[in-house]
């Protein structure tokens, strides 16, 4: 070639088409940390593949780039999973980390370091950030009511409580945020909460907790988000800020698998505090182990470099509010930008384990080529929050037509029998027509660079596919398979011209299809990887194959995927899901049988009783209900921000003015009931009938909202 493409050789930086299209700063890139309580599935892979493509592109564009990730290991979920298996949490997270790394790298995701949050570096950094925030007055201590499971004898972390979203009313939401409306809240805010482990209604206990004063950073975050997130995310952040930023509970009481908070007893960092610190810990571990510890400060304490996070839209709140504020409090630089992608659906539906559409990476790898998934995701991804749908028909059509029919077919037609006839040797130089063909490919380079830089791989691949069509038309018009019978040297020239264009195509594809590109490099006897490829290309001086270059014997590059192979993968996952569901069904049937026996006896179980939530409540308002002889309308204070509306049939025994200020007992988790006069949201407890009816009141002093036992 005209230039030596040796990997790692010194090359000047090209203008990088990043956020401002001019930066040549070194970049540190992360993906969200997979939680160590389950396997990698195809939904996870959207993010890791997208990140890997972007990092590979940055390196090909001449930038110094590092890609760090780790397993998110702490929390009650991991602790309980380990207990169930009879091993320590440390043993469990060690096993899962190996499995996660195996599955992710099998899809061509290449990390500089894949670490763990259960590390000395993470403890060191999380503690330093906390102590710095505390010293600056950003930590508060106050007593809070926390949900506690009497059955499991433990305080329930956010993800171990499920109930109805207090904002939009969607059922079966976790205790930290709603997957439907995106609202963040405390577990205590959920309506009809239940323990996600055993299903019983938790009780409320008062404990001292530590809070990060997020509101202290509202002005800082308002400034930071400009230009750091996409417009859709910025609007959502603005919405949260207008609602007012609430203090963030960063402590959890033992037993808990995590780091103990410095200076505290039996209190641990909430997993969401130390999880993002795992980005920093992975970097620190890498730079120390490679003998360059000074690079940590270069990235995390100086803005002469750039830091980018790739995340899903379900964790935007934590990464765009808590995380920049934590870094600021700890004396570290904020992210340059946070890139957010949408969810994965399967054939238009949310992934479901019971339907067999929550497909594990391990299952996919047993049946299909991982490069096919990389290409399909890249062909659908753009710089927005749109969800990505994996349709079986589209998946097969895209890979078979673009990768196999367009790109691989080009090389298989030129490098098999025809090349063997020519002793696999090319001509001395491209022809004028060949130079014109390469020029057409190079004229689109800047568009491809801009699309890759903007994470718009959908656009990049559309351009590259059109260029592949151009090269294939060039070959088809000259029919070298016929020409070789009458003009060997003319055929050699056609092959030379087409392969000069073909290797450019393979490098355009390399961020998305590294294995395919490696195959082309081996076939054409070129270096396997070319750092700085994009900056070495230019329009006026294309980099052609060397004169009289000898290529290697043809090696298969890509195979069509049959619909039977895709179906076999889906069937395997459905079978696995069916086995799990059968086990769950047997357990449910056993529980149902026990419930029927209790019902027939006329008794209720302790679980039934546990569902009833009795609270002390203060009657703040009371009035007559026009048109009703027996009802009073009660405004009931049950310790919430608003009064609950209750219609009670106690008018014959009480006058409204007698009730105001009275502390009573109510059923607080009764489903709202629509009545003729409005919606009743609780029930008062009373005994007797008529004028002798008497409301239950707590024997000892109780505050509104106190749970009664």
- Bridge partners of 346, per DSSP, are 349, 390
The 10s digit of each residue's pLDDT in 533-555 is: 887 776 445 578 999 999 999 98
Q: Does residue 444 sit in the same domain as residue 337?
A: no
The 10s digit of each residue's pLDDT in 595-634 is: 455 445 556 666 677 778 899 999 999 999 887 888 999 9
Q: What is the CATH number of the domain that holds 330?
A: 3.40.50.620
Q: Does residue 97 sit in the same domain as residue 242?
A: no
356 belongs to a structural domain? no
Percent of the residues in the chain that have a pLDDT greater than 90, as a whole number = 69
Residue corresponding to tokens 């940590």: 296
Q: Give the domain-ending residue among 575, 603, 631.
A: 603
The 10s digit of each residue's pLDDT in 564-573 is: 999 999 999 9
Q: Give the domain-ending residue among 222, 239, 268.
A: 268
Known binding residue 178? Answer is yes
Q: Does residue 625 sit in the same domain as residue 687?
A: yes
Known binding residue 666? Answer is no
Phi-psi bin for 627: left (phi > 0), alpha (psi -120 to 50), beta? left
Interval 418-427 mean pLDDT: 96
Mean pLDDT across the chain: 89
Q: Does residue 144 sit in the same domain as residue 118?
A: no
Q: Give the domain-ending residue among 290, 324, 341.
A: 341
Q: Which of 89-93, 657-661, 668-672, 680-684 has the highest mean pLDDT?
A: 89-93
φ, ψ of residue 294 in degrees (nearest 5) = -65, -20
Q: Which residue has the higher pLDDT, 639 or 116?
A: 116
Known binding residue 168? Answer is yes
Interval 252-263 mean pLDDT: 93
Residues 6+ apart with CB under 8 A from 100: 34, 36, 39, 40, 71, 114
pLDDT of residue 606: 67
Q: What is the CATH number of the domain that holds 524?
A: 1.10.730.10
pLDDT of residue 589: 52
Q: Does residue 295 sit in the same domain as residue 371?
A: no
The 10s digit of each residue's pLDDT in 261-311 is: 999 999 999 999 999 999 999 999 999 999 999 999 999 999 999 999 999
Residue corresponding to tokens 């990887």: 529
Q: Does residue 515 sit in the same domain as residue 572?
A: no
361 belongs to a structural domain? no
Q: Is the pTM of this model over 0.85?
A: no
Token couple for 461: 């691949």
Nearest to 54 by CA among 382, 406, 316: 382
194 belongs to a structural domain? yes
703 belongs to a structural domain? no
Interval 90-98 mean pLDDT: 97
Q: Does residue 211 sit in the same domain as residue 252?
A: yes
pLDDT of residue 5: 31
Sign for the pseudo-dihedral over CA of 528, 531, 536, 539: positive
Q: Does residue 99 sit in the same domain as residue 59?
A: yes
Interval 488-513 mean pLDDT: 97
Interval 161-169 mean pLDDT: 91
Q: What CA–CA distance (Å, rounded) separates 69 from 276?
A: 10
The 10s digit of each residue's pLDDT in 38-60 is: 999 999 999 999 999 999 999 99
pLDDT of residue 398: 96
pLDDT of residue 51: 98
204 belongs to a structural domain? yes
18 belongs to a structural domain? no
Q: Does residue 374 sit in the same domain as residue 499?
A: yes
Q: What is the CATH number of the domain that holds 679?
A: 2.40.50.140
Q: Does residue 189 sit in the same domain as residue 218?
A: yes
User: Into how many domains does the chain fold?
Assistant: 5
142 belongs to a structural domain? yes
The 10s digit of each residue's pLDDT in 475-494 is: 999 999 999 999 999 999 99
Q: What CA–CA distance (Å, rounded) separates 374 from 558?
A: 13
Q: With contact defined as beta carbons under 8 Å apart, do 38 and 507 qualify?
A: no
Q: Does residue 397 sit in the same domain as residue 457?
A: yes
DSSP H or E segment with residue 699: none
pLDDT confidence band for 593 (50 / 70 / 90):
low
13 belongs to a structural domain? no
Q: What CA–CA distance (Å, rounded) separates 204 from 325?
A: 30
Q: Which residue has the higher pLDDT, 536 or 347?
A: 347
Q: Does residue 570 sit in the same domain as residue 484?
A: no
What residues make up the domain containing 570? 565-603
């Amino acid at each position: 070639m005209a230039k030596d493409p040796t990997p790692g050789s010194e090359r000047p930086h090209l203008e990088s088409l990043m956020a401002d299209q001019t930066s040549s700063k070194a970049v540190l890139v992360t993906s969200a940390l997979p939680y160590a309580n389950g396997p990698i599935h195809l939904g996870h892979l959207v993010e890791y593949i997208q990140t890997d493509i972007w990092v590979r592109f940055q390196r090909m564009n001449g930038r110094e780039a590092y890609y760090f990730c780790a397993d998110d290991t702490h929390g009650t979920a991991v602790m309980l999973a380990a207990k169930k298996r009879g091993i320590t949490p440390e043993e469990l997270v060690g096993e899962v980390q190996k499995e996660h790394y195996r599955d992710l790298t099998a899809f061509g995701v290449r990390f500089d370091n894949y670490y763990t949050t259960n590390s000395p570096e993470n403890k060191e950094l999380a503690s330093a950030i906390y102590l710095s925030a505390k010293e600056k007055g950003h930590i508060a201590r106050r007593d809070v009511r926390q949900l506690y499971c009497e059955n499991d004898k433990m305080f329930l972390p956010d993800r171990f409580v499920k109930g109805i979203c207090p904002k939009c009313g969607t059922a079966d939401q976790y205790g930290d945020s709603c997957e439907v409306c995106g609202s963040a809240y405390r577990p205590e805010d959920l309506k009809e909460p239940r323990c996600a482990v055993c299903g019983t209604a938790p009780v409320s206990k008062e404990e001292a907790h530590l809070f990060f004063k997020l509101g202290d950073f509202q002005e800082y975050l308002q400034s930071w988000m400009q230009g750091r997130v996409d417009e859709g995310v910025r609007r959502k952040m603005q919405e949260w800020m207008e609602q007012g930023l609430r203090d963030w509970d960063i402590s959890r009481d033992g037993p808990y698998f995590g780091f103990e908070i410095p200076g505290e007893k039996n209190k641990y960092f909430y997993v969401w505090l130390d999880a993002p610190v795992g980005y920093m810990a992975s970097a620190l571990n890498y730079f120390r182990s490679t003998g360059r510890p000074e690079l940590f400060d270069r990235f995390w304490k100086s803005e002469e470099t750039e830091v980018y996070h790739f995340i899903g839209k379900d964790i935007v709140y934590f990464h765009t509010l808590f995380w920049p504020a934590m870094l600021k409090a700890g004396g570290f630089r904020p992210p340059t930008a946070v890139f957010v992608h949408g969810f994965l659906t399967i054939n238009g539906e949310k992934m479901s384990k019971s339907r067999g559409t929550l497909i594990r990476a391990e299952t996919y790898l047993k049946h299909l080529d991982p490069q096919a998934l990389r290409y399909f995701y890249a062909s659908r991804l753009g710089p927005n929050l749109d969800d990505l749908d994996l349709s079986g028909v589209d998946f097969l059509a895209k890979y078979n037509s673009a990768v196999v029919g367009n790109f691989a077919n080009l090389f298989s037609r030129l490098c098999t029998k025809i090349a063997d006839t020519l002793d696999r040797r090319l001509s001395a130089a491209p022809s004028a027509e060949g130079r014109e063909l390469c020029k057409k490919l190079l004229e689109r380079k800047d568009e491809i660079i801009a699309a890759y830089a903007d994470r718009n791989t959908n656009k990049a691949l559309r351009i590259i596919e059109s260029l592949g069509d151009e090269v294939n038309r060039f070959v088809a018009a000259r029919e070298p398979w016929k020409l070789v019978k009458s003009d060997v040297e003319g055929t050699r020239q056609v092959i030379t011209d087409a392969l000069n264009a073909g290797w450019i195509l393979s490098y355009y594809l390399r961020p998305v299809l590294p294995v395919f590109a490696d195959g082309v490099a081996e076939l054409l006897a070129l270096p396997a990887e070319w750092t700085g490829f994009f900056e070495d290309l230019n329009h006026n001086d294309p980099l052609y194959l060397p004169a009289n270059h000898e290529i290697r014997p043809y090696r298969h590059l890509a195979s069509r995927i049959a619909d039977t192979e895709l179906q076999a993968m889906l069937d395997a996952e459905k079978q696995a899901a069916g086995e799990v569901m059968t086990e769950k069904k047997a357990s449910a049937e056993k529980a149902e049988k026990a419930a029927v026996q209790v019902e027939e006896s006329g008794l209720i179980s302790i679980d039934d009783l546990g569902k009833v939530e009795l609270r002390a409540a203060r009657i703040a308002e009371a009035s007559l209900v026009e048109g009703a002889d027996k009802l009073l309308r009660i405004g009931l204070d049950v310790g919430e921000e608003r009064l609950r509306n209750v219609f009670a049939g106690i008018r014959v025994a009480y006058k409204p003015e007698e009730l105001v200020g009275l502390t009573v007992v109510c059923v607080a988790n009764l489903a709202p009931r629509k009545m003729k006069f409005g919606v009743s949201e609780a029930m008062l407890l009373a005994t007797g009938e008529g004028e002798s009816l008497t409301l239950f009141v707590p024997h000892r002093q109780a505050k509104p909202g106190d749970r009664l036992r």
